[in-house]
């Protein structure tokens, strides 16, 4: 996993004050990072269009033009001139070297956006919108310098530069991982600024997950039996398919036993048991998936509210103030897995504050931290294009998801994966992190059409992860 920061202003300041570095040195290394990527992936003499803004992000682009001049066919476009002192200095250096300054935009093998970068807090004006539209229409490989133009920390993005690759400077920024920005940032590469990342970065409680963070519940001890791996009880409600899918996922992710808790007989796969009560040897619960109003209050009070077993709440659980009262239990491992619409409902029940999905999405990090402050002992997994997972003060970002998962049943699989790990003794945070990684990695490995993946395909993929890692 890698550290993530809201911004890098304090980190840059620390470089100036503690290491005696300056803007010029950091800027040179920022451009070196981009230049090295281009040298590695594109042959010499490829054409490069660099569009630079008036400030220091634009200056990064100008330094890049100087560094690649001579080996590549570089064209530098400065639609608004330069304003910052560093931008003026860098432009003068580029001119002395003979870098070509052009007044028009034409396609190239590589398109570099160095217009605005980090810190955008207002809508783009018409001239920049027109430039971004032109750049997006070009066929060249698109690289954003630090952050694509139009991408903001608030997620508002009526238009943005659509990068194939974002080369971000110094550290990864939270804005790069907002759902609204995912289609604009492309692949993310972070480059150093003249000192190693260990010297540049400060402490943080926010991290982005990577594939190598996956730790499967692999079985290495041969002298074992099903009782060593827990017993997951999944409540199977009005829409019984959701509960069955969750149960199948649980069984496939290592739970020694999985039982569907039902009112009446269902027809699950033969490896799933079903019972009208929660079995005495249960070690974790999952409730909410397709639940409806299927269970009476007395039943829920006995087997859910008065229980201290680890629990996953999903879907219809967020419609119930009764089930949400579980969140007050501080001596219990609790994981909740809402999507943004469900989060608005549970937030209103818990706080009385009514928020729209747009408001949630535009400040996902803030909302997760606000919930975390109110219920620090609960693990919140907020679903989305980039899943956020928080507990206590730690926040993890899972950016590995894909559009294949945008289908009913994917969330039921996730709940089943989480309860399987809870049943095996994982903490709520560990269960949410590892289950979310297993879900997205199984989806990414699915070889069928992007629109065709079924929940059962994900479950099958989870069963094959061990041979791929």
The average pLDDT across 45-52 equals 96
Residue 371: which residues within 8 A CB-CB, separation 6 or more? 347, 378, 380, 390
Phi, psi of 23 (to 5 degrees): -55, -40
238: tokens are 């009005």
Strand-by-strand arrangement of the 73-77 sheet: 100-102, 73-77, 47-52, 110-114, 141-145, 165-169, 187-191
The average pLDDT across 4-10 equals 84
CA–CA dist 163, 420 (Å, integer)? 38
Q: Which pLDDT does position 197 carry in this prediction?
A: 80
Q: Which pLDDT does position 120 carry in this prediction?
A: 62
Residue 157 pLDDT level (bands cut at 50, 70, 90): low
CA–CA dist 463, 452 (Å, integer)? 19
- With beta carbons less than 8 A apart as the criterion, state whether 72 and 45 touch: yes
CA–CA dist 207, 210 (Å, integer)? 10
- With beta carbons less than 8 A apart as the criterion, state whether 388 and 368 touch: yes
Res. 460: pLDDT tops 80 = yes
Least confident of 188-192, 196-200, 340-344: 196-200
Q: Which pLDDT does position 155 carry in this prediction?
A: 67
For the chain, the first-to-last Cα distance in angstroms comes to 16
pLDDT tens digit sequence for 50-65:
999 988 888 999 999 9
The average pLDDT across 372-388 equals 97
- Burial class (CB within 10 angstroms; exposed 0-12, middle 13-18, buried 19+) of 122: exposed
Res. 156: pLDDT tops 80 = no
Alpha-carbon distances of 452 from 183, 310, 385, 414, 445, rounded to whole Å: 21, 34, 18, 18, 13
CA–CA dist 113, 142 (Å, integer)? 8
Domains contained in the chain, CATH given: 2-204 (3.40.50.10260), 212-467 (3.40.1190.20)
- With beta carbons less than 8 A apart as the criterion, state whether 443 and 194 touch: no
Q: Which pLDDT does position 424 carry in this prediction?
A: 97
- Residue for token pair 């490896």: 271
CA–CA dist 156, 409 (Å, integer)? 29
- With beta carbons less than 8 A apart as the criterion, state whether 383 and 415 touch: no
Residue 153 pLDDT level (bands cut at 50, 70, 90): confident
pLDDT tens digit sequence for 334-353:
999 999 999 999 999 999 99
The average pLDDT across 282-311 equals 94
Res. 119: pLDDT tops 70 = no
Using left for φ > 0, alpha for ψ between -120 and 50, and beta otherwise, residue 199 falls in: alpha
pLDDT tens digit sequence for 168-189:
988 899 999 999 899 999 999 9
- 22 vs 114 pLDDT, higher one: 114
Residue 382 pLDDT level (bands cut at 50, 70, 90): very high
Q: State pTM to two decimals.
A: 0.92
Residue 341 parent element (H or E)? helix 340-351
Q: Which pLDDT does position 268 carry in this prediction?
A: 86
- With beta carbons less than 8 A apart as the criterion, state whether 387 and 436 touch: yes
Res. 258: pLDDT tops 90 = yes
% of the chain at pLDDT higher than 70: 98
């Amino acid at each position: 996993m890698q550290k993530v920061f809201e911004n890098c202003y304090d980190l840059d300041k620390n470089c100036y004050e503690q290491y005696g570095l300056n803007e010029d040195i950091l800027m040179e290394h920022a451009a070196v990072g981009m230049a090295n990527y281009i040298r590695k992936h594109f042959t010499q003499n490829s054409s490069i269009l660099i569009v630079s803004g008036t400030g220091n992000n634009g200056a990064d682009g100008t330094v890049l033009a100087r560094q690649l001049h001579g080996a590549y066919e570089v064209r530098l476009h400065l639609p608004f001139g330069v304003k910052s002192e560093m931008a003026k200095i860098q432009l003068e250096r580029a001119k002395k070297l003979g870098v070509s300054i052009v007044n028009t935009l034409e396609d190239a093998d590589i398109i570099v956006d160095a217009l605005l970068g980090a810190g955008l807090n207002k809508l783009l004006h018409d001239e920049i919108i027109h430039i971004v539209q032109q750049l997006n229409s070009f066929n060249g490989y698109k690289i954003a310098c630090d952050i694509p133009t139009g991408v903001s920390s608030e997620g508002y993005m009526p238009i943005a530069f659509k990068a194939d690759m974002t080369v971000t400077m110094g550290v990864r920024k939270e804005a790069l991982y907002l759902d609204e920005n995912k289609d604009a940032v492309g692949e993310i590469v972070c480059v150093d600024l003249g000192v190693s990342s260990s010297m540049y970065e400060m402490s943080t409680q926010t991290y982005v997950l990577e594939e190598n963070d996956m730790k499967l519940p692999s079985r290495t001890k041969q002298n074992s039996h099903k009782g060593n791996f827990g017993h997951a009880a999944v409540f199977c409600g009005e829409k019984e398919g959701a509960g069955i899918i969750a149960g199948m996922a649980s069984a496939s992710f290592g739970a020694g036993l999985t039982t569907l808790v039902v009112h009446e007989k269902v027809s699950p796969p033969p490896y799933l048991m079903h019972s009208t009560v929660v079995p005495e040897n249960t070690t974790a619960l999952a409730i909410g998936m397709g639940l409806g109003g299927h269970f009476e209050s007395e039943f829920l009070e006995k087997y859910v509210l008065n229980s201290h077993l680890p629990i996953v709440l999903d879907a219809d659980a967020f419609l119930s103030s009764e089930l949400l009262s579980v969140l007050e239990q501080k001596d219990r491992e609790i994981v909740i897995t809402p999507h943004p619409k469900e989060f608005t409902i549970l937030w209103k029940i818990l706080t009385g504050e009514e928020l729209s999905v747009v408001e949630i999405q535009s400040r996902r990090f803030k909302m997760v931290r606000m919930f975390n402050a109110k219920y620090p002992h609960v693990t919140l997994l907020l679903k989305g294009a980039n899943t956020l997972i928080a507990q206590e003060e730690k926040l993890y970002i899972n950016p590995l998801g894909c559009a294949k998962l945008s289908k009913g049943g994917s969330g039921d699989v996730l709940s089943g994966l989480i309860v399987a790990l809870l049943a095996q003794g994982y903490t709520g945070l560990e269960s949410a992190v590892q289950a979310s990684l297993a879900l997205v990695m199984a989806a990414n490995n699915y070889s069928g059409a992007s629109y065709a993946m079924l929940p059962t395909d994900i479950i099958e993929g989870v069963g094959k992860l061990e041979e791929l890692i």
